[in-house]
Chain A
Amino acid sequence: MSIRVLQPGLMDTIQDLGRYGYQHLGINPGGAMDRIAVRAANALVGNPAGEGVLEMHFPTSSFLFESGAIIALSGGDFTAMIDGRVLPLNKPVLVAAQALLYFKGPVSGARCYMAVRGGFDLEPWMGSYSTHLKAGAGGFHGRALQKNDMLPLKQKANYAKLLDRKDFKVLPRMIYTQNMYVTTELRITAGSEFTLLSEQEQLFNHSFDCTRHCDRMGYRLEGVALKHYKEGELLSSGVTRGAIQLMPDGQMIILTADHQTTGGYPRIGHVIAADLPSLAQHRPAQPLRFTLVSVNDAIAAHHEQTQRLHLLENACKLQLEKWRQAYDLY
């Protein structure tokens, strides 16, 4: 009951919704960059929202299913293929034992997520399946996937009858997550050093490009240098995901999942939680724009998005139950 890594990708790690409660020890919450995709993929295969999934970047690993499984892909579209046929995103897929899954090329997004029904059979570290690369803990041996890794699965599955000798079969349930992402304008709240900007409108009247330094630790942006008042060096203090740090040269770095827990750069703003998945799927070629919202509006947006995910999870649960009865599926 496992999935074998045939060719390793750029950086594929096990992630979940994060590890909270240890930031006072310098251990960041980490977790998936795109929480919408994690919850969608887990919902489609009937997993709890916080089950560990694979977060994949392109180039992506290729996988051999040593045993059958039900999987779901969500987030970025990397053209997933089995036996020359494309697998859809956001649908549950039965995969036959010995099927080979590979990814041909990115069409949209920057990170693709794969959930497996039942989840990967791994030990959580400090309450989470997320891979903490610096600590070398959590996920699959605390590291990115390598050649010949065997990802163990919790659940045994044999769908030979349903598959009818095919390599995979798409189950007829589609969910739509696209409208939960924003395309170009990210909503931000003002940070504690927002007033350090001497021309605040600069932040909203210009677009900014993602440089090649955009990863799980942070997104370094490039654009007009933001004019700011000089302030003496700040004492380091706690920082959180989504914080927009102003560098001395007027450029910005947005902190992402694997950020350090403390920092000493001025925080001019925070990307709101509801829009962090959009940032995670942002492709470098597109420019980024910002718009300002209040803290309470940010929370209301996050709440609304979470409600939609709840609805989606409930709908999937009902559907899976129907299939279970109809096909003796699980």
Chain B
Amino acid sequence: MLNWPQRIDPAVNAAVMAAFRRLQQLSPRWVRDLIPAYASLTIVYDALYIYAELDKDVAGWVSLQVPALLSGTENITATPARQIDIPVCYDPAYGLDITALAGQKEMSVEELIALHTGRSYTVYMLGFLPGFPYMGTVAEQLVAPRLSKPRPLVPAGSVGIAGAQTGIYPLASPGGWNIIGQTPLRMFDAAREPASFCQPGDEVTFVPISAREFDQLKKQS
């Protein structure tokens, strides 16, 4: 695992993404999987292949190879991101916690929506569930701890806030994030290529839609 300074920071994550993309592009035969996260890149390597074909000192070999392959990406602090808009219906019928959260924060639901849609977010990593994007960071006024009691079932498409992060449940699942809305888009579809709507490093903007628009879009997707 490669580590960067351990903080949630767009510049740090951009460096992670630069390294991730470099390795993804080169796709050396000994790399089986790459897991970029906030400030780290986990490289799952095929130790048996390296051991049998390249070098018996696998750990030493990898520790020399990786920096060589990544040279030139160290100082990248911004990477070209895919810009995507995600429609979200913030109606309390979908945003199960939006009224309570607005109350806690002593603001109106409209103000909360304006704050959440008022900036774009970086997909720092995907994890927890297939296609679950961890995005950040939300406006300081929206930072909220996880629910003290997780919901047994959060509907697919639910948009939530946990700490300074915002995310989308791609599949129905138990979960403890504060749910403020729902997207009609299928964030994960096993039959689709690519299955995951979001990719690491994407820049996401939420676009508020009405319940009617939600229904229409839901039918289309």
Partners in one complex: yes
Residue numbers of A with Cβ under 8 A of B are: 20-27, 29, 125-126, 132, 134-138, 142, 192, 234-240, 260-263, 273, 294-296, 299-300, 302-303, 306
B1 touches A21 (CB 8 A): no
5 closest A-B pairs by beta carbon, nearest first, are: A238-B42, A238-B35, A262-B127, A137-B190, A26-B126
Q: Scoring B residues 132 to 170 as 1 if CB is less than 8 Å from chain A, else 0, what string do you get?
A: 101000000000000000000000000000000000000
**In whole angstroms, how far apart are the Cα atoms of A296 and B60 in the complex?**
9
Q: B29 → chain A, closest Cβ, in Å? A: 12
B59 near A136: Cβ-Cβ < 8 Å = no
Given known contacts A24-B199, A261-B126, what 18 new A-B pairs fall within 8 Å (CB)?
Answer: A20-B32, A20-B44, A25-B196, A27-B196, A135-B171, A235-B7, A235-B8, A235-B37, A237-B3, A237-B35, A237-B38, A238-B40, A238-B44, A260-B127, A296-B60, A299-B47, A299-B50, A303-B52
- The answer to whether B125 has its CB under 8 Å from any CB of chain A is yes
**B positions within 8 Å CB-CB of A:** 1, 3, 6-8, 20, 24, 32-42, 44, 47-48, 50-52, 56-60, 125-132, 134, 171, 173, 188, 190-191, 194-196, 199-200
Task: Tell me if B33 and A29 are in contact (CB < 8 A).
Answer: yes
- Does A262 lie within 8 Å of B51, measured CB to CB? no
Greatest chain A CB density within 10 A among B6, B20, B130 is at: B130
B173, B188, B199 — most chain A CB neighbours (10 Å): B188
Alpha-carbon gap, A199 to B195, bound state (A):
45
| A172 CB → nearest B CB, Å | 32
22 A–B pairs (Cβ distance < 8 Å), ordered by A: A20-B32, A21-B32, A24-B126, A24-B199, A26-B128, A26-B130, A135-B195, A235-B39, A237-B35, A237-B37, A237-B40, A237-B42, A238-B41, A238-B44, A239-B42, A261-B35, A262-B134, A263-B127, A299-B48, A299-B58, A302-B48, A303-B52
CB distance from B15 to the nearest CB of A (A): 14
B185 to chain A, nearest CB (A): 16
CA distance A261 to B34 in the complex (A): 10
A299 touches B51 (CB 8 A): yes
Contact of B131 with A24 in the complex, beta carbons under 8 Å? no
Q: How far is the CB of A29 from chain B (nearest CB, A)?
A: 7
Measured between beta carbons, the chain A residues less than 8 angstroms from B6 are: 234-235
Most buried by B among A25, A134, A240, A260: A25
Asked if A132 contacts B130 (CB within 8 A), the reply is yes
Kindly count the residue-residue contacts between A and B in the assembled complex, taking CB atoms under 8 Å apart. Answer: 131
Q: Which of B38, B44, B48, B132 contacts A303 (CB 8 A)?
A: B48
Q: Which residue of A lies closest to B35 (CB)?
A: A238
- Residues of B contacting A20 in the complex (Cβ-Cβ under 8 angstroms): 32-33, 44
Contacts of A237 in B (CB 8 A): 1, 3, 35, 37-40, 42
Q: How far is the CA of A302 from the CA of B24 in the complex (A)?
A: 26
Contacts of A299 in B (CB 8 A): 47-48, 50-51, 58-59
Select from chain A the residue with minimum beta-carbon distance to B128.
A260
Report the nearest A residue to B62, measured CB to CB.
A295
**B11 to A: closest C-beta gap in Å:** 15
A236 touches B59 (CB 8 A): no
In the complex, which residue of chain A has the Cβ closest to the Cβ of B190? Answer: A137
Which of A21, A25, A142, A302 is within 8 Å of B131, CB to CB? A25
Is B132 in contact with A26, judged by CB distance below 8 angstroms? yes
- Minimum CB–CB distance for B215 against chain A, Å: 24
How far apart are the CA atoms of A295 and B47 in the complex, in Å? 10
CB-CB < 8 A to B60: which residues of A?
296
Whether the Cβ atoms of B35 and A262 lie closer than 8 Å is: yes
Q: How far is the CA of A132 from the CA of B32 in the complex (A)?
A: 18
* Residue of A whose beta carbon sits closest to that of B126: A26
Q: Which residue of B lies closest to A138 (CB)?
A: B190
How distant is the Cα of A130 from the Cα of B130 in the complex, in angstroms?
15
Residues of A within 8 Å of B32, CB to CB, are 20-21
Among A137, A240, A262, A296, the most chain B Cβ lie within 10 Å of the Cβ of: A262
How distant is B14 from chain A, measured CB to nearest CB, in Å? Answer: 15
Task: Determine the chain B residues whose CB is within 8 A of the CB of A300 once the complex forms.
Answer: 51, 56
Chain B residue contacts of A134, Cβ below 8 A: 129-130, 171, 173
A contact residues around B40 at 8 Å (CB): 235, 237-238
Q: Distance in Å from the Cβ of B153 to the closest Cβ of chain A?
A: 13
Are the C-beta atoms of B48 and A27 separated by less than 8 Å?
no
| Interchain CB contact (< 8 A) of B42 among A138, A234, A240 | A240
Q: Is the CB of B134 within 8 A of A24?
A: no
CB distance from B123 to the nearest CB of A (A): 11
Q: Say how far B63's CB is from chain A's closest CB, in angstroms.
A: 10
**Nearest Cβ on chain B to A154's Cβ, whole angstroms:** 22
Report the minimal beta-carbon distance from A143 to chain B, rounded to whole angstroms. 12
User: Could you tell me if B44 and A26 are in contact, using CB atoms closer than 8 angstroms?
Assistant: no
Bound-state CA distance A79–B59 (Å) is: 42
Contact B59 A27 (CB under 8 A): no
Bound together, the chains give a CA A142 to CA B171 distance in angstroms of: 14
In the docked arrangement, what's the CA distance between A25 and B134, Å?
A: 11
Q: Looking across the interface, which residue of chain B has its beta carbon closest to that of A191?
A: B1
Chain A residues near B58 (CB-CB < 8 A): 295-296, 299
